Amino acid sequence: MTRLNPPRRTSGRRLTGILAGAAIALTGVLGLGAPAAQGAGSTLHDAAAESGRYFGTAIAGYRLSDGQYTSIADREFDMITAENEMKLDATEPQQGTFDFAAGDQIVDWALSNGKQVRGHTLAWHSQQPQWMQNMEGQQLRAAMLNHVTQVASHYRGQIYSWDVVNEAFEDGTSGARRNSNLQRTGGDWIEAAFYAARQADPNAKLCYNDYNTDNWEHAKTRAVYDMVADFVSRGVPIDCVGFQAHFNSGNPVPSSYHETLQNFADLGVDVQITELDIEGSGQSQAEQFRGVTQACMAVTRCEGISVWGVRDSDSWRAEGTPLLFDGSGNEKLAYSYVLDQLNSASEGTPPVDGCSVSVTRADEWGDRFNVTFAVEGSSAWQVDIQLQGVQSVQNAWNADVQGSTGTLTATPNGNGDAFGITVYANGSWSLPTATCSG
Ligand code: G2I
C-alpha cells in the first residue's frame, strides 16, 4: 500500500534503526552514551529525523494565537495531534451534522508549516456527543461507522496515521474489553471501525491507541497484544499501535517498556508513542523521558514519539509539570536528555583510519554535571570538545584538557582512552559535543 506522507528518510530507516539498537546495547554494557555529535540535531524533530523518526506534540487550537506556544511548536515538532478538536463531540455535535472548523484549523497550521498529522480519534467511549451517549445497539453501530467514514473521508490524504479506536480495554487484571455502549454493539465493533477507516482513507496508517499498555506483565497489555495478533492473522486492516504513555510516580515507566514495544512490533505493526507525559521534575523526570526515548529508538518499528502538549502549563495535568518545556517556554532538563538520546543515533562507527568518541552525561548537581568521553580507534588521539553556551569546565580527569570555555582540546595523559570533565552549566544543560582526530 502506498502511504501519502511517509516519515522522512524512510529508505534508510531499517538500517539506522538497527544501528541505533546496536548503539543502545553497547550503552548498556560499557556505560557509554551518545556517539560523537557531529551533525547532531539541535531540535527534537531534527534529532529524531537522524534515525528516520518523527517527534510530535498535541496542539490545542485555542492556543494557536499564543506566539510563544506556536514558535516552540513550530521549531521542535514535526508531527501534530489535535488534543481535542477531532474527537467525536467536536466533529459531530448533532447526529449527521459535522463541524470540522476546529480540526481544520490545526491541520492547516500543521500542513502549512511542513508538519504531518496524527488523527485522534474516530471511535472512543469518551467525549461522545450527547446524542451518541444515549444510543445503543444497531443504531449506535451504524452511527459510529458513519462517523468513522465521514471524518476519515473529510481528512483523506491529510493524515499520517489515525487513532481509529481509542481505549477499548478495561484497566486492571481482567484483560477484558471496556464495557461501553460501543462494546455492547458487539465485540467486532473495533474491526468494523478499522474496515470503515481503511475504505475512507486508504493511505492513512490505522492505529489502535491505548494507555496502561506499557508493562509487558500487565493483563491489559497482553489483551491488546492478543487482539492485534488476531487482527493481523485475520487480515483486519491495522498498521500500528499507539502507546499513550502517561506516566507518574504511581505508574512509572516500566523496565519492560522496550520489550513491550518490541513484542508488538514483532507482530508486524508499527508502534508509536502517542501522548507521552511524565509527572515529576529534575533528574528523575529527565531520566524517565530518556528511558522512553531510548526504548523507542531501540525498536526499528517505533516510528516516533509525541508528547501530550508543549509547555507544562499546556498540559491536561499541568500541576504535574509533565512536559519538556516549563510554563515560561524554557527547555527543561528532560528536554536535554531527550535531545541527547535522539542524537545518539548519529552514526558513531569509527572511520577506518581515524577515531571516534562517544559523549555521555554522568552525575549531576545543582549547578554542574559530569561528562565522560570514550575514544575508539586510536591511542594517539585529540578530542575537540565544544561546550554549549557559556558553560565552563571545573576540572578534568584521565586526559590533558586545554581551555575552560568554548572549544577545549583533550589529549591522552597516559590514563587510557576514557576521560571526563565537570562542567558548570551556567544555565545551559545541553551536552557538549566532541570530535576525534587521531
Ligand atoms: O486524558 C488525557 C488523554 C488520554 N488519552 C486520550 C486523550 O484524548 C486524552 O486527552 C485529554 C485532553 O488532553 C484534555 O484536554 O482528553 C480530555 C478529555 O477526555 C481533555 O479534557 C477536556 C475536558 O474534559 C473538557 O472539559 C474541556 O472542555 O478538554 C476540553 C478542552 O479543554
| 212 touches ligand 1 (CB under 6 Å) | no
| 404 touches ligand 1 (CB under 6 Å) | no
Q: How far is the CA of 127 from the centre of ligand 1 (A)?
A: 8
Label the pairing between strands 407-411 and 205-210.
Answer: unpaired
Which residue type sits at 198?
Answer: R
202-255 pLDDT tens trace: 999 999 999 999 999 999 999 999 999 999 999 999 999 999 999 999 999 999
Tell me: pLDDT of 26 over 80.
no
Reference 49, options 79, 90, 25, 23; nearest CA is: 79
Tell me: pLDDT of 1 over 70.
no
- Ligand 1 atom closest to Cα of residue 58: 13
Tell me which residue has its CA closest to atom 31 in ligand 1.
84
| 127 touches ligand 1 (CB under 6 Å) | yes
User: pLDDT at position 351, please?
Assistant: 56
Give the mean pLDDT of 36-45: 75
| 244 touches ligand 1 (CB under 6 Å) | yes
Tell me: pLDDT of 266 over 90.
yes
Cβ contacts of 400 within 8 Å, gap of 6 or more: 410, 411, 412, 413
Phi and psi (nearest 5°) for 274? -105, -25
The angle formed by the CA atoms of residues 294, 274 and 27, to the nearest 5 degrees, is 0
Give the mean pLDDT of 102-126: 98
316-365 pLDDT tens trace: 999 999 999 999 999 999 999 999 999 987 644 455 568 888 888 888 88
Q: Give the Cα separation of 302 and 358 in Å (integer).
A: 24
User: pLDDT at position 389, please?
Assistant: 84
Give the mean pLDDT of 151-163: 98
359 or 7: which carries more pLDDT confidence?
Answer: 359
pTM of the predicted structure, to 2 decimals: 0.78
Catalytic residues: 167, 275
Tell me which residue has its CA closest to atom 16 in ligand 1.
84
Tell me which residue has its CA closest to atom 9 in ligand 1.
83
Q: How far is the CA of 84 from the centre of ligand 1 (A)?
A: 6
* Alpha helices (H) in 113-136, listed in sequence order: 130-133
| 62 touches ligand 1 (CB under 6 Å) | no
Q: Give the Cα separation of 115 and 268 in Å (integer).
A: 26
Reference 368, options 346, 400, 393; nearest CA is: 393
| 126 touches ligand 1 (CB under 6 Å) | yes
Size of the chain, expressed as the number of residues it contains: 438
The angle formed by the CA atoms of residues 313, 316 and 322, to the nearest 5 degrees, is 60
Pocket residue to mutate for ligand 1, from 84, 162, 277, 308, most atoms within 8 A of Cβ: 84
- Positive or negative, the CA dihedral 107, 308, 258, 12 is positive
- Positive or negative, the CA dihedral 41, 71, 114, 62 is positive
Reference 351, options 386, 387, 381; nearest CA is: 381
